[in-house]
Structure 1
Amino acid sequence: MHPAPPLSVQIAPRGPLTGDVTLPGDKSISHRALMFASLAVGRSTITGLLEGEDVLATAAAMRAMGATIERGDDGTWRVDGVGVGGLLQPAGALDMGNSGTSTRLLMGLVASHAIHATFAGDASLSGRPMGRVIEPLAAMGADITASPGGRLPLMVRGLVPAVPIEYTLPVASAQVKSAVLLAGLNTPGITRVIEPVPTRDHSERMLAGFGARIEVEETAAGRVIAVHGEAELQPQTIAVPGDPSSAAFWLVAASIVPGSHVTIRNACMNPTRTGLIAALRLMDADIAETNARSVGGEPVADLVVRHAPLTAIEVPPDLAPSMIDEYPALFVAAAMAEGVTVARGAHELRVKESDRIATMAAALSAAGVTLTEHYDGLSITGSGGAPMTGGVQIASKLDHRIAMAMAVAGLVATDAIGIDDARPVATSYPAFFTTLDALAPPRD
């Protein structure tokens, strides 16, 4: 098949954003719900699943390894699992598309099963290094053959029984942590991951909900997460909350477009995911939480955000792990604040779908923003609310979050900002542009 042609879009100011937003399901939780349900014995049901391309790649991979996964007409997904240790040999390569989460977590699953799997992906994913996952999984006994630079395509040959390890994360990465924990599910003994800096804890929360024996301890060395192997997972009914990474674009857009007043429904408020809200509040954003509740073990709330003049800050580096995917949106907010915002401590942005530091620096600079690029972030001189110049076409580098962040920037530019290819938005937020049109219809 030939790839679809690029989808170029032009975003110009439209006036205030007003109304309610129904968020797509959280991407991180959606991936894990499908994987863990596929490892349970019996039928699980999932509502609110994100039906973006990345999550669908996970569903296809789990089907290829034996799980029965079906979507009902009512949008409910039903998963009949094969049990821990029951994954079947896939008939062909697993196509991960653009999904780094699918790739890294599924590598962990395969590593402790008596199967082998080849992982392939699109051009963007194939450029992302997998060495940080290969190292611990190889220590557990998996035989991994990768392309030069530890990249895709690569093959994982699992080992049964695998070897339990105690592994300290060299960088803050929920994906690496989760890959090791998932390998530990089918490994005799106890597998431990030590994270000096806390990362997203969806895997620990959900595995415990499925019946795995998970222990979390705070120590001087950091948070220690232990999983007891040869686990037996029980089927569950899962309601996926709204994705805070998708909420980020509306939080920023409503904050910077005068007259805006937006209510964001059902946002996941897991404390490992709310760094952007904390940063925006430090910048004097007007964000209120209402209807706080718990859904499937995750804290959830509705967010009400109104336009407010933003003030530049030095972003606390310890917020980075809890907002790593939201930095592109934060950079746009910084461009409209009063003063110089310094956002550093985000080295991980260099190895996302694109080099998000360099890509956002180039895009914002082209749109008229004054900034300085650092190895671990940006310093951005804000306009104090004055429109950025715009009138340019920027390169998304096949990165969904770059495309959406610069679409938000187009709402506060003198002239329209063009995005060379918005197709990748479908990987995480297929309804993004439809939602934008509903909140702020385009002007004639």
Structure 2
Amino acid sequence: MYNESKVVISMIFESIYTPFGDHTIDVPPDKSISNRSILLNIIAQSGRAKIKNILLSEDTLATIAFAKRIGFDIKVDENKKTVSMKKGKLIKDIGTFDCKNSGTTVRHIMSIMCGLDIKGVLDGDSSLRKRPMQRITSFLKEMGADFKGGADFLPIEVRSSRLNRIDFTTDLASAQQKSSFILASLLAEGEKATFNFKVPSRDHTEIMLKEMGINLIYDQKDSYRQILIKDKRPSEMKDFTVPGDFSSAAFFIVLAILTPGMCLKIKDVNLNKSRTGLLDVLIQMGADIDIFQKKGSGEESGDIIIRHSSLKGVNINNKEIIPRMIDEFPVLALAMAFADSKSRVENVGELRVKESDRIEKIREILNFCGMELLAEKDRYEIDPARTKKPSEVVDTSGDHRIIMTAILAAIITKRKLKLDDISGINVSFPDFFKSLKEIGYEYKCSD
């Protein structure tokens, strides 16, 4: 369960056997939807809810811990992967709350605290303290929120607030900014609020709010898309069932493509189009991928079948597709490294302010593979022909997506890998090593 301390675990990873043939795997429940299923029920006026197939990782446990801290009655069944939650008496001063490594948690609960007039200090680990919060505090201040100091980075003290609805315009393609604004607006006073943006981002919040009876109005204003918010917060809490996480599936999609003789079926994955840009790019690169979508209400989901494929390089500079795969660029870099021609990626400055500077971490992974990365501020180039002496160590900075990508690199290159810290895997994919074994990959780990 939720643990206030972090244990650093270093490891030497060595691949022993790579499987081939047909295999099937389930991936963990979707982290974004798991978090939002708790957050959206927090703002509902009354009732109780059960979240089925929820991801119980460090990020989601931080969100669950916040719900408990403000007075919710929460019961977690780890075996059944369910969370039952019931409203209790709202606690208006929560002291200092540790959001761990979860940007989703802190950026959403900041809006909730301001909207429900809850006082407290929000903090996180060393990685989260480096991530920009001004993208959230800027509109909250305009709405009437009171923070101590600049409120650009954690820790941030949230003081008493009464929010008013505003018109807000952004050029940032951030689902967290968008959904945090929507949450704050649902809890604010006034006739309407508008969120004006140029580039679409993940829309889980909008889909789930629709299931809760909230009507968001979509429009176009000059060169900006617009979300108009007139409704108040949901009247009743709602049950949700969480599909498989596409971002977790991404590691096994790329691994299957790069493993000779492999055919892998990944079951019940979230296929929301705002998340699946990686599939579009891999198919463009020549990957042999079949998608079997299941019909249903709410989030789209289905099965994916991936076969070993030869890849060609690709150029990515379309600002529309980048938010649809913002978490998959590290593992995509691995696919690019083993393509038959060079690839270029542009307009990805956001990678610099994720859990780590992911462009620099991609450089370290490619160095381990014996390749160089040419990188500038918001772009990079991967040329499989640009080789160098391989390194033995990847400094992951505890970034969960970098850790797992580095392990895939060790499997593909069949080289021994030294990792400074693997504990970050628990942020999103606690059973990552178990899943490798389930489809036949054998390896050994040592200190």
TM-score, with length taken from structure 2:
0.92
Instruction: Pick one of 320, 338, 341 that aligns with 1:339.
Output: 341
CA distance in 2, matches of 1:217, 1:402: 38
Kindly report which structure 2 residues correspond to 1:416-427, keeping only aligned pairs within 5 A, or say none: 416-427=416-427
CA distance in 2, matches of 1:99, 1:3: 13
Q: Is the 8 A contact 2:94 2:118 kept in 1?
A: no
2:84 aligned partner, one-letter code: R
CA distance in 2, matches of 1:26, 1:443: 26
1:245 deviates by 0.7
Q: Structure 1 residues 338-347 or 205-214, which shifts more?
A: 205-214
Instruction: Pick one of 254, 259, 262 that aligns with 2:261.
Output: 259
Can you give the 5+ residue segments of structure 2 that lack an aligned partner in the other structure? Answer: none
* Aligned equivalent of 1:139: 142
* Aligned equivalent of 1:49: 54
Spell out, residue by residue over 1:264-305, the C-alpha distance to the aligned partner (whole angstroms, 9 max, x if none). 1111111110110111011001111125233x5011010000
* Aligned equivalent of 2:331: 329
Spell out, residue by residue over 1:55-85, the C-alpha distance to the aligned partner (whole angstroms, 9 max, x if none). 0000000111122221235332111136xxx
Instruction: Pick one of 319, 322, 338 that aligns with 2:321.
Output: 319
What secondary structure does 1:370 align onto? strand
CA distance in 2, matches of 1:343, 1:307: 23
Spell out, residue by residue over 1:350-397, the C-alpha distance to the aligned partner (whole angstroms, 9 max, x if none). 10000101121123124311321121132101269xx99756111111
* Aligned equivalent of 2:187: 186
Instruction: Pick one of 234, 241, 244 that aligns with 1:242.
Output: 244
2:185 aligned partner, one-letter code: G
What secondary structure does 1:92 align onto? strand
Can you give the 5+ residue segments of structure 1 that lack an aligned partner in the other structure? Answer: none
* Aligned equivalent of 2:439: 439
1:22 aligned partner, one-letter code: D
Q: Is the 8 A contact 1:144 1:154 kept in 2?
A: yes
Residue 150 and residue 141 in structure 1: after superposition, are their counterparts in 2 closer, same or farther (change >3 A)?
Answer: same
Instruction: Pick one of 63, 67, 82 that aligns with 1:62.
Output: 67
CA distance in 2, matches of 1:274, 1:292: 15
Q: Is the 8 A contact 2:367 2:388 kept in 1?
A: no
Kindly report which structure 2 residues correspond to 1:302-313, keeping only aligned pairs within 5 A, or say none: 302-313=303-314
Q: Is the 8 A contact 1:44 1:235 kept in 2?
A: yes
User: How many aligned positions are there?
Assistant: 436
Q: Is the 8 A contact 2:9 2:423 kept in 1?
A: yes
Q: Is the 8 A contact 1:367 1:417 kept in 2?
A: no
1:138 deviates by 0.5
Q: Is the 8 A contact 2:103 2:128 kept in 1?
A: yes
Q: Is the 8 A contact 1:37 1:81 kept in 2?
A: no
Q: Structure 1 residues 275-284 or 285-294, which shifts more?
A: 285-294
Kindly report which structure 2 residues correspond to 1:12-27, keeping only aligned pairs within 5 A, or say none: 12=15, 14-16=17-19, 18-27=22-31
Residue 13 and residue 311 in structure 1: after superposition, are their counterparts in 2 closer, same or farther (change >3 A)?
Answer: farther
* Aligned equivalent of 2:85: 79
Q: Is the 8 A contact 1:141 1:158 kept in 2?
A: no
CA distance in 1, matches of 2:137, 2:398: 25
What secondary structure does 2:234 align onto? coil
Kindly report which structure 2 residues correspond to 1:404-415, keeping only aligned pairs within 5 A, or say none: 404-415=404-415
CA distance in 1, matches of 2:105, 2:127: 14
| RMSD, aligned α-carbons | 2.1
Instruction: Pick one of 190, 195, 198 that aligns with 2:197.
Output: 195
CA distance in 2, matches of 1:69, 1:394: 39
CA distance in 2, matches of 1:100, 1:435: 26
Residue 203 and residue 158 in structure 1: after superposition, are their counterparts in 2 closer, same or farther (change >3 A)?
Answer: farther
Spell out, residue by residue over 1:85-140, the C-alpha distance to the aligned partner (whole angstroms, 9 max, x if none). x8432432111000011000111111222221210111111111211111111000
